[in-house]
Chains A and B, each alone.
Chain A
Amino acid sequence: SQKIEQNSEALNIQEGKTATLTCNYTNYSPAYLQWYRQDPGRGPVFLLLIRENEKEKRKERLKVTFDTTLKQSLFHITASQPADSATYLCALDGGSSNTGKLIFGQGTTLQVKP
């Protein structure tokens, strides 16, 4: 069955460093991958979308890569700040790019220490 894995352990880094979060998937080949941020008590907020034919996407301090051979996406936050502390969720299409169905990973919690 389709499976998405994100590091369940929290990632703790020092302010100013680059945070790298991993999203691995098995048993299918998504055409789209999205990353969301979720703060406690709030709904997820869309950050970036990357297509299978794109290797990399950037937005300000954020960068996402999509390696369809490794079945992995990496999410980078450069020059991290305490305000970046949150849970980050990756989401993949549910096996068909013609539907709206997204499957979410469990998320990785990032803690940036000043």
Chain B
Amino acid sequence: DAGVIQSPRHEVTEMGQEVTLRCKPISGHNSLFWYRQTMMRGLELLIYFNNNVPIDDSGMPEDRFSAKMPNASFSTLKIQPSEPRDSAVYFCASSFGATVSQPQHFGDGTRLSIL
């Protein structure tokens, strides 16, 4: 079975540009999570969806970040405008079920560099 698929794997762009990260969860999973990982702060939850509905976006750093899940097989995380401090690895994960009693399955991430 295909795992969680993220694109692009790497993104380098200049400050001020719009960045869109994409995620395809595992088929049949109904929860989707966006994380950010940095050396300083580790792995942080940004937002998660259940049945395509945002449940908790308290980790979204500011209004420059937005996430959508238009259907069960696709989600985007958008940063506009991007800033150098947004440089990090962004992971998408999915799970079957909406609670922490279920394991989460991660993609291999998008390494984002904002110059």
Q: Which residues of B contact A102 (CB under 8 A)?
A: 45, 100, 104
Which of A43, A97, A105 interacts with B99 by CB under 8 Å? A97
Interface size on B, residues (CB 8 A): 27
| CB pair B105 A41 closer than 8 Å | no
| CB pair A104 B42 closer than 8 Å | yes
The B interface is mostly helix, strand or loop, or mixed, namely strand
Q: Which residues of B contact A103 (CB under 8 A)?
A: 45
* Nearest residue, chain B, Cβ from A4: B42
| CB pair B100 A43 closer than 8 Å | no
Cα-based distance from A99 to B66 in the complex (angstroms): 21
> CB within 8 Å of A: which of B81-115?
91, 93, 95, 97-109
Binds B, one of A12-20, A44-52, A69-77, A78-86: A44-52
Q: Which residues of A contact B107 (CB under 8 A)?
A: 43
Cα-based distance from A43 to B56 in the complex (angstroms): 22
Cα-based distance from A20 to B16 in the complex (angstroms): 45
Number of A-B contacts (CB under 8 A): 68
| CB pair A93 B100 closer than 8 Å | yes
Q: Which residues of B contact A99 (CB under 8 A)?
A: 55-56, 98-100
Interface size on A, residues (CB 8 A): 25
Given contacts A100-B33, A101-B45, A104-B42, contact A43 B101 (CB under 8 A): no
Q: Which residues of B contact A98 (CB under 8 A)?
A: 99
Q: Give per-residue flags for B34-49: 1 if the beta carbon is below 8 A from chain A beta carbons, else 0.
A: 0000000011110010
Q: List 27 A-B contacts (CB under 8 A).
A: A32-B101, A42-B108, A43-B4, A43-B93, A44-B43, A44-B93, A44-B104, A46-B105, A49-B101, A89-B43, A93-B100, A97-B99, A97-B101, A98-B99, A99-B99, A100-B50, A100-B55, A100-B97, A100-B98, A100-B99, A100-B100, A101-B45, A102-B45, A104-B42, A104-B43, A104-B44, A105-B42
